[in-house]
Structure 1
Amino acid sequence: MKNEVHPYTQWVDLASRQLGGQVLQSSDDFFAEMENLIKPEAPVFIDGKYTDRGKWMDGWESRRKREEGHDWAILRLGAAGNIVGFNVCTRFFAGNAPKQISIEACYSAETPNADTEWTMLIEQLDVQPDSDNFIDVGHGADSVWSHLRLNIFPDGGVARLRVYGKAVLNKDWLLPNEPVDLAAVNNGARPLMCSDMFFSSMNNLLMPGRGVNMGDGWETKRRRGGRETDWIIIALAAPGTLHKVCVDTAYFKGNFPHSFTLDALYMPSGEVHPDSAWQPVIERQLLSADSEHFYRNEVINTEQVFTHIRLSIYPDGGVSRLRVIGYPVSEE
């Protein structure tokens, strides 16, 4: 099974339930619950399945509006951050999709209320039924947002809302000299590129918690000649020094990598590639099945500040999670 390729492969879904995203309220979800908007799996259609309110649909669907106005849903992002684009997915909503949508955003430590000031990120525009509707963010892309309001005109159904971007590490929340997982998505890390992700997405590698099954990790196809290794390049949550690493092969039993290395570099411009001037952080280490592997004494170059890491696995296989504990440093 190959993963769907979309324009935001390098970015993370900030509304994901895995990060703690939540649909807080909606104007109406008579036909299908608002919580479906951020379900992690792709939407499905089940022919002949009905509820006492009508056809069962895998998304958020309001009733037909018979008065002026429009419907809306408010979401709390799992991680506050910068947003680069959306997918307003109307898959399987063919005759009942909205005609148009708009998206507003705010940053708030509290749940939005009637006094909340919203900023329009996506002006009202047409969306296609039964489709992925990818929308780039222009205005407001450099700002940090915590909540969204999806407006649909005038009513209808949206299967999923994906919010692609980068979490921003809130350094004000950290204690003095507190170590941080600099490879965690919810702190602001993100995968930039990898050699292969045939079976499962590179984004999974940096998600919170342990993997829930073999599909919840980064897994490459079986290597048949050619290069001897697969690799993934990750932008750290912040520049920092690296001191402790965990490589977790949870659920990978017959397909874990034989071994791995970890390298890093300092490149604040972000212009990295597989053949950049990488420096070793952990020399080649053996891995085992379905286990957490911890490294502290093996970590070298601990005084150096890095912005990116490269995990190389030999020759191929699956890794569930990668944790890189270190100390963020000021870029000033």
Structure 2
Amino acid sequence: MITDNPLHTEFTRSLIDLAAERVGGETLTCSDDFFAPMENLIKPGRGVFIADKYTDRGKWMDGWESRRSFGRDNGRDHDWCILRLGIPGIIKGIDVDTNHFRGNAPLAFSLDAACLNDDGFAGKNHPEWVEILPQRLVEAHSQNLFRIPSLTPWSHVRLNIYPDGGVARLRVYGQPHITWSSVLTGELVDLAAITNGGQAIQCSDMFFSDKNNLLMPGRATNMSDGWETKRRRDNQYDWVIIKLGAEGSINKVIVDTNHFKGNYPDRFSLEAITAHNDDFYQNKNWQTIIPDTKLMAHHEHLLISEIIADPRQTFTHVRLNIFPDGGISRLRVFGYRKEDLL
């Protein structure tokens, strides 16, 4: 169960897990993962416990777990794991989750970061590693959440655990830093994609599932992998505001209700704005991009001719309105960056 820690609420509502497997995060190497593989660190959820499940090395654990350190002859005083962030960015917080690691959690941990162009240079002793969080004590079977006062964009992190033990999940919360170096000039791109720096920043409700699921790569794997609101019992409607990864035009939109068969919205509309303040919902300058449009269940809706905005007009945010409530699995907002329209 997720705790009610206010830091967890702050991180998950305003930041993105830059290291998550679903956005391309990858564990590259570690000092030791004798009992449980490092790849578990970035998987979804908090990890599960199966009481009677064992491997030929011992108890099966849903996390990363190294062997006991006493008697080592390799001169290593702690274990470590190096990860490449799926989205390079400015790291603002961390969650070292020791869920189900009760008698085998580390005593302490620290976090280093680096900005590296090639995974091959991400060795433990590479000179670019910088400590961004000094040693902190670890609580067993808990979310260990800490703010990180970093202003530098990073591409890799190194989790150090002292002296050994197990961590179920590592969450590296931050703000994406996109260079756009891989995008060709004049290329149509999904400006809302989380991997391009898009972020769902406000919504009316996300009772069943998180608003940022809308922007994840690929199509949804199931109904939980989307944005779903509770049933409204009034005459209002639900909405979500998305900050685009770059200011740009809106030339093609995809609204996908994949897996939402009995609980998709009846209709939707899309609005947009160019704004540089935080009062988005109250702002009166929202412009209709796609008028009120009927939706179908479990269907990927491609909308091009329905867009009524000038194809060269640029925006910084979009607002997806659903009537009256329900679930959307993905939203794609394709356009040209403002720089490419000049």
Deviation sequence 1:86-133 (CA, Å, 0-9, x none): 111011111211111111111112111343411111111112111011
The answer to whether structure 1 residue 18 and structure 2 residue 26 are counterparts is: no
Residues 11 and 191, structure 1, Cα contact 8 Å, conserved in 2:
no
Task: Compute the displacement of 1:73 (Å).
Answer: 0.2
- Give the structure 2 partner of residue 224 of structure 1: 233
The answer to whether structure 1 residue 245 and structure 2 residue 253 are counterparts is: yes
Select 1:77's aligned residue among 81, 85, 96. 85
Q: TM-score, normalised by structure 2?
A: 0.91
Q: TM-score, normalised by structure 1?
A: 0.94
Partners of 2:288 and 2:263 in 1: CA distance: 25
- Give the structure 1 partner of residue 9 of structure 2: 6
The answer to whether structure 1 residue 133 and structure 2 residue 137 are counterparts is: no
Residue correspondences, number: 328
- Give the structure 2 partner of residue 144 of structure 1: 153
Residue identity matched to 1:121: I
Provide the secondary structure at the position in 1 that maps to 2:249.
Answer: strand
- Give the structure 2 partner of residue 60 of structure 1: 64
Partners of 1:120 and 1:211 in 2: CA distance: 36
Provide the secondary structure at the position in 2 that maps to 1:233.
Answer: strand
- Give the structure 2 partner of residue 254 of structure 1: 262
Provide the secondary structure at the position in 1 that maps to 2:206.
Answer: coil
Instruction: Name the CA shift for 1:14/1:2 in 2 (closer, same or farther; >3 Å).
Output: closer
Residues 25 and 87, structure 2, Cα contact 8 Å, conserved in 1:
yes
Moved over 3 A (4+): 1-5
Task: Compute the displacement of 1:2 (Å).
Answer: 9.6
Residues 78 and 161, structure 2, Cα contact 8 Å, conserved in 1:
yes
Deviation sequence 1:156-203 (CA, Å, 0-9, x none): 111000111222222222211111111000000111121111111111
Partners of 2:313 and 2:140 in 1: CA distance: 51
Task: Compute the displacement of 1:135 (Å).
Answer: 1.1
Residues 89 and 133, structure 1, Cα contact 8 Å, conserved in 2:
yes
- Give the structure 2 partner of residue 37 of structure 1: 41
Provide the secondary structure at the position in 1 that maps to 2:50.
Answer: coil
Q: Could you list the runs of 5+ residues in structure 2 that have no partner in the other structure? A: none
In the TM superposition, 1:150-299 aligns within 5 A as 150-225=159-234, 227-269=235-277, 271-277=278-284, 278-299=286-307
Cα RMSD, aligned residues only: 2.0
Deviation sequence 1:52-72 (CA, Å, 0-9, x none): 222211111111112451000
Partners of 1:29 and 1:6 in 2: CA distance: 31
Partners of 1:143 and 1:182 in 2: CA distance: 23
Instruction: Name the CA shift for 1:219/1:3 in 2 (closer, same or farther; >3 Å).
Output: farther
Partners of 1:98 and 1:49 in 2: CA distance: 22
Q: Could you list the runs of 5+ residues in structure 1 that have no partner in the other structure? A: none
Instruction: Name the CA shift for 1:43/1:51 in 2 (closer, same or farther; >3 Å).
Output: same
